[in-house]
Structure 1
Amino acid sequence: MACAFRRSIASQLSRVLDLPPENLIKSISAVPISRKEEVADFQLSVHSVLESNSDHSKPDIQAQVQRLAEKLKCDTVVSEISTGPGTVNFRINRELLTKTVLQQVFEDGANYGLKSELFSGLPKNKVLVEFSSPNIAKKFHVGHLRSTIIGLLGTGFQLFGYEEKLKSNPLQHLFEVYVQVNKEAADDENVEKSAHEFFHRLEAGDQQALTLWQKFRDLSIKEYVQIYKRLGVHFDDYSGESFYREKYREVLSLLDKKGLLQRTKKGTAIVDLSRKGDPSLSCTVMRSDGTSLYVTRDLAAAIDRMNKYHFDSMIYVTDKGQQNHFQQVFQILRLMGYEWAERCQLVPFGIVQGMKTRRGDVTFLEDVINETRSRMLENMALSKTTKELENPHEIAERVGLAALIIQDFKGYLLSDYKFSWDRVFQSRGDTGVFLQYTHARLSSLEDSFESGHLRNINAACLQDPQSISILQHLLRYDEVLYKSSQDLQPRNIVSYLLTLSHLTAVAHKTLPIKGRLPEVAEARLHLFKAVRSVLANGMKLLGITPVSRM
């Protein structure tokens, strides 16, 4: 694998540069493959390891590159050394490359890439991730539970709710109630007033209000669990910010003790984030009627989670409209003296535009999943390559979810994008359907031919350009995982897997197995098995369940 080769290269560089090998490891990277020309396997960025003054010109750097390359020698691992713009390039002995990469893929299995020395220097931390955050009784409509929503829902159910409908289809009925009471509130200010009163009673601990809210919460979570299950998602803890409604008074008390709480003429409580009396930089933490706000409950949640889990970092995954809100939360925590606030991080995501089902605009994840499965079933029925399947609905859902996930993760999370069902379900091109098709095709290949032991592989049979390109790409997997762990962007993994699938599509045509000499067939089969293994690993990291038939 890449780690063994990096260590060997770093060891030689260490002797020439008089630097510890571990200081050089992250400056040695696998070279991205090129469809136009053959490339080296690794390159050293000379800029990152040689101290140079800011006034050094590019020719000076290139001269240093040349001098460094001349001091290095080929050995049993490195067969060729060359230079590029700002880099020294290394070509690995081809048969050693073949045997090492394939052996590492099969030995490490699901941990391939994760055992890399790139991760060795990272401490094993406890990371808390808060994401999804659907509203109670809002059928997975993304957002947090806010007082207006739960207040309206409590009032609405007392006006329009039916216990029978609540038992048979809880979230659908609660959503209908919410829509109906929302319309009423627009025309009747008493309804809005009643909603605020309900929320006030809830925070004051009124038993009737608490019982009704608990019923809504239990029914919502029960249905969410089923939807999460379809996505292959499991949560360790279900505790939305509404869970902390009783703890917000402790937050207000702490803010008051630290001299951070100020009262306005209207009776609201604020925190001056500027510390200079700038009203435009203040954050309201309590309404005039004494009830909490979103920010107050998030402060309580953060403090409670640190006390409960002692996390090393906490990541909030929310839509980008909440960036300002969480900046305020983190800033208030810092003002309160919590140094761990520096370890809280927001990962914002953009807006999906134009998503519609055949029944019209859609905002519910359950409807999207159902529509995805339905459309995928139709596509599979029309495809000439679709085989008889024992569980077509399950396959259609898994392939459909892969299509949605890849569409969502292809770009930067923060970017908005326009949704297109036609583009999502393309079987060729950069889509989740193409990834699943590639995995299924490779699985079928394995089923058709038996493979022997890896030690019997003749590496000389895998020296063609297509095989070498795949092996070089497999070398880069650990770097891709490392980059995603640092910038928290799944697009790195998506791009890697799509490139791997395109390389495989070419190799599948040019490297046949049937009718070839046994040693050639055996070598190629092991190469395709390695690809399928890494492809499956990467898909699982993205929340995709690979299919073996489609």
Structure 2
Amino acid sequence: MASFFRRTIAAKLGRTLQQPEDVFIPALTAITVLKKQQESPDFKLSLGTLRGNGVLPSHGDIQQQTEHLASQLKEDSVVEGITTGKAVINFKVNRKLLAEKLLEPFGKGEDDKFGLNSELLDSLKRGTTLVEYSSPNIAKKFHAGHLRSTIIGNFIANLKETLGNKVIRMNYLGDWGMQFGLLGAGFGQFGSVEKLKENPLQHLFEVYVQVNKEAEHNPDVKQAARVFFKQLEQHESQAVSLWQQFREITVKEYRHVYKRLGVHFDVYSGESFHQDQAQEAVRQLQSRGLLKTSEKGTGVVDLSPHGDMSSVCTLLRSDGTSLYITRDIAAAIDRKEKYCFDEMIYVTDKSQENHFSQLFQILRAMGHSWADGCRHVSFGLVQGMKTRTGDVVFLEDVLDEVRARTLQNMSQTNTTKELEDADDTAEKVGISALIVRDFKGSLHSDYKFDWERILQSQGDTGVFLQYTHARLCSLMRKNEGLAAATFNPSLLGEQTSISVLQHLLRYEEVLHQSAQDLEPKHLVNFLLKLSHFIASAHRELPVKGSQHDVAQARLRLFSGACSVLANGMRILGITPLNKM
């Protein structure tokens, strides 16, 4: 694996500079392989990083330092080439060893461990991570933002789990607040028990839209909503019973959609769980002298740097009812007590950045130093997500549309195999396409949704990833008798093989980078590039018709690439397909 070479080079540097080898690990990176590149080194050492962390003096000519250090290093049986570039030293490792060490795990049934036993990843903190994601509002439309939150949160949870953390996946439902006052009041006016049974989410959504329109010009409706929400806060049985019905219906419908997406949650929580605790949080804030009463009679916390009330956060309405942030404070405190998390990650769109900044500030002001382990991962908006019937209302509409379009594309291509369940395959391919499109750029960027581009089989798409994986699985099936526990690594000396191997060296760095900034783009782009290298290798390195030992070595290379591709896809939340 890459860690063997990284450790060997670090040890060589440690002996030369009389420093512990650990200090060189972060400064050593696998070199990015270019598609048309001929023979190139495998690792580079950044002298800038060594100067930055105090291993080398920060004064003097950096290029002279580079040349001097390189001249002190000797080639050996592992490192067979040492050259210099601009403030970097390049290392080329023995080609036979490169193939042997990288492909070794795939003969021992350790496919899912590839890249994980690494000094680089050992530097990451491990512990309990709570990820709150998806978090739709009960009885309101599940829009594209919730889709983004769902798949991004799922990626983060998968990544953290892969890297050895205990992960709690939480769906924190918007199941409380004035919207329920509106829905409760609206259901009395526009609701139908029959329609609720037929198509629960659709009917609740229609009632919600109707009552909102009515409330715009009718103060009586607004007043009825306030009354209903007050009844909820005071636990009046009729209001609570209706609210409970809405919540159960919605969660049941959502579970079905999540199952289609391949997403699961350990905990379904919600704002409603924390209404009493919110009052306790208010009391704590009062006892610390942090809660003030504004001129309007609302309860506020002063967040201004000079304590002049120039920046306040409202926690209570003038009638004493709680707000979203009040319940978020209570929820955070409750989760810390219940789950003892080391870090908590909230995944929501960027419009809520100020909300979370205020939340973390208030928690710290209350004396909760663990708030430093809380983090908000924000994302941009998706524009133009429409189905053939119009704007997207429910996520289910998107999944139906992506399945229908993928089925149509599959029926028009010659390479499509006879499948046992074409609908299921089409859905999984379509969801892969959605995920890869969403994850290719920075999460913070907005992007324009385009069905045609997303579902292309050529180019850097989720369809291309699935096609590459299915093609490799087909190759394995056709050559089952060839697979062996041992292989001759010296038979993988062609540049096409070396490019695949050099690219695999980068896998642990990609995971490390993803763990630090929680951006899926690093992994997506790594897998897409791996798929391009595999396509070249498939053309240039035939298994069928080659000498037995050559065929065996090539099969090991394809088998390793296939495993890494599948592992990476699973972290992204994509189910790798064996046939398509």
Match in the other structure for 2:138: 136
Q: Distance in 1 between matches of 2:264 and 2:415?
A: 34
Q: 1:53 to 1:518 in 2, by over 3 A?
A: closer
Higher-RCO chain (CA-CA 8 Å, sequence separation at least 6): 2
2:129 is the alignment partner of 1:99 = no
2:507 to 467, 477, 481: 477
Match in the other structure for 1:65: 66
Q: Indicate the SS of the match to 1:239.
A: strand
Checking the alignment, whether the CA contact within 8 Å between 1:273 and 1:282 is kept in structure 2 is yes
How far the C-alpha of 1:470 sits from its partner, in A, is: 0.1
Match in the other structure for 2:48: 47
Whichever residue aligns with residue 136 of structure 1, its letter is I
Whichever residue aligns with residue 231 of structure 1, its letter is L
Checking the alignment, whether the CA contact within 8 Å between 2:301 and 2:315 is kept in structure 1 is yes
Whichever residue aligns with residue 128 of structure 1, its letter is L
Q: Distance in 2 between matches of 1:84 and 1:366?
A: 53
Match in the other structure for 1:238: 268
1:110-509 to structure 2, matched below 5 A, reads 110-141=112-143, 142=145, 144-145=174-175, 147-274=177-304, 276-452=306-482, 454-509=484-539
Checking the alignment, whether the CA contact within 8 Å between 2:107 and 2:485 is kept in structure 1 is no
Q: 1:528 to 1:545 in 2, by over 3 A?
A: same
Whichever residue aligns with residue 259 of structure 1, its letter is G
Q: Distance in 1 between matches of 2:576 and 2:35?
A: 27
Checking the alignment, whether the CA contact within 8 Å between 2:457 and 2:463 is kept in structure 1 is yes
How far the C-alpha of 1:210 sits from its partner, in A, is: 1.2
Q: Distance in 2 between matches of 1:360 and 1:199?
A: 33
Whichever residue aligns with residue 3 of structure 2, its letter is C
Q: Give per-residue Cα distances to partners, 1:488-514, cap 9 Å, x unaligned.
A: 000010000000001111111111122
Larger CA deviation: 278-287 vs 100-109: 100-109
Q: Distance in 2 between matches of 1:263 and 1:385?
A: 69
Match in the other structure for 2:15: 15
Normalised TM-score (structure 2): 0.92
Q: Indicate the SS of the match to 1:340.
A: helix
How far the C-alpha of 1:444 sits from its partner, in A, is: 0.7
Q: Give per-residue Cα distances to partners, 1:128-176, cap 9 Å, x unaligned.
A: 1111000112242457456232111111111111222222321111111
Q: Which runs of 5+ in 1 are unaligned?
A: none
How far the C-alpha of 1:279 sits from its partner, in A, is: 3.5
How far the C-alpha of 1:123 sits from its partner, in A, is: 3.5
Q: Give per-residue Cα distances to partners, 1:187-214, cap 9 Å, x unaligned.
A: 2121112112211111122111111111
Whichever residue aligns with residue 116 of structure 2, its letter is L
Q: Distance in 2 between matches of 1:484 and 1:339?
A: 26
Q: Distance in 1 between matches of 2:320 and 2:487?
A: 74
Q: Indicate the SS of the match to 2:480.
A: coil
Q: 1:325 to 1:260 in 2, by over 3 A?
A: same
Checking the alignment, whether the CA contact within 8 Å between 1:147 and 1:196 is kept in structure 2 is no
Q: Distance in 1 between matches of 2:135 and 2:214?
A: 26
Checking the alignment, whether the CA contact within 8 Å between 2:483 and 2:555 is kept in structure 1 is no
Match in the other structure for 1:510: 540
RMSD value, Cα? 1.5
Q: 1:88 to 1:451 in 2, by over 3 A?
A: farther
Whichever residue aligns with residue 535 of structure 1, its letter is L
Larger CA deviation: 206-215 vs 313-322: 206-215
Q: Distance in 2 between matches of 1:506 and 1:43?
A: 25
Q: Indicate the SS of the match to 2:268.
A: coil
How far the C-alpha of 1:460 sits from its partner, in A, is: 2.4
Q: Distance in 1 between matches of 2:396 and 2:308?
A: 45
Q: Distance in 1 between matches of 2:137 and 2:517?
A: 28
Q: Distance in 2 between matches of 1:469 and 1:77?
A: 18
How far the C-alpha of 1:53 sits from its partner, in A, is: 6.1
1:521 to 525, 530, 551: 551
How far the C-alpha of 1:18 sits from its partner, in A, is: 1.1
Q: 1:486 to 1:371 in 2, by over 3 A?
A: same
Q: Distance in 1 between matches of 2:310 and 2:17?
A: 55
Checking the alignment, whether the CA contact within 8 Å between 2:111 and 2:560 is kept in structure 1 is no
Larger CA deviation: 525-534 vs 400-409: 525-534
Q: 1:451 to 1:495 in 2, by over 3 A?
A: farther
Q: Indicate the SS of the match to 2:103.
A: helix
Q: Distance in 2 between matches of 1:452 and 1:389?
A: 26
Checking the alignment, whether the CA contact within 8 Å between 2:483 and 2:552 is kept in structure 1 is no
Checking the alignment, whether the CA contact within 8 Å between 1:285 and 1:293 is kept in structure 2 is yes
Identity %: 55
How far the C-alpha of 1:121 sits from its partner, in A, is: 3.0
Q: Distance in 1 between matches of 2:392 and 2:124?
A: 42
Q: Distance in 2 between matches of 1:209 and 1:250?
A: 23
How far the C-alpha of 1:243 sits from its partner, in A, is: 2.1
Q: Which runs of 5+ in 2 are unaligned?
A: 147-173
Q: 1:394 to 1:532 in 2, by over 3 A?
A: same
Checking the alignment, whether the CA contact within 8 Å between 2:470 and 2:579 is kept in structure 1 is yes
Whichever residue aligns with residue 99 of structure 1, its letter is E
Whichever residue aligns with residue 25 of structure 2, its letter is I
Match in the other structure for 2:79: 78
Q: Distance in 1 between matches of 2:527 and 2:305?
A: 49
Q: Distance in 2 between matches of 1:192 and 1:54?
A: 67
Checking the alignment, whether the CA contact within 8 Å between 2:381 and 2:446 is kept in structure 1 is yes
Q: Indicate the SS of the match to 1:314.
A: strand
Q: Indicate the SS of the match to 1:238.
A: strand
2:2 is the alignment partner of 1:2 = yes
Q: Distance in 2 between matches of 1:348 and 1:337?
A: 25
Q: Distance in 1 between matches of 2:115 and 2:243?
A: 46
Q: Indicate the SS of the match to 1:521.
A: helix
Q: Give per-residue Cα distances to partners, 1:42-73, cap 9 Å, x unaligned.
A: 111112224466664xxx11111111111111
Checking the alignment, whether the CA contact within 8 Å between 1:79 and 1:92 is kept in structure 2 is yes
How far the C-alpha of 1:242 sits from its partner, in A, is: 2.9
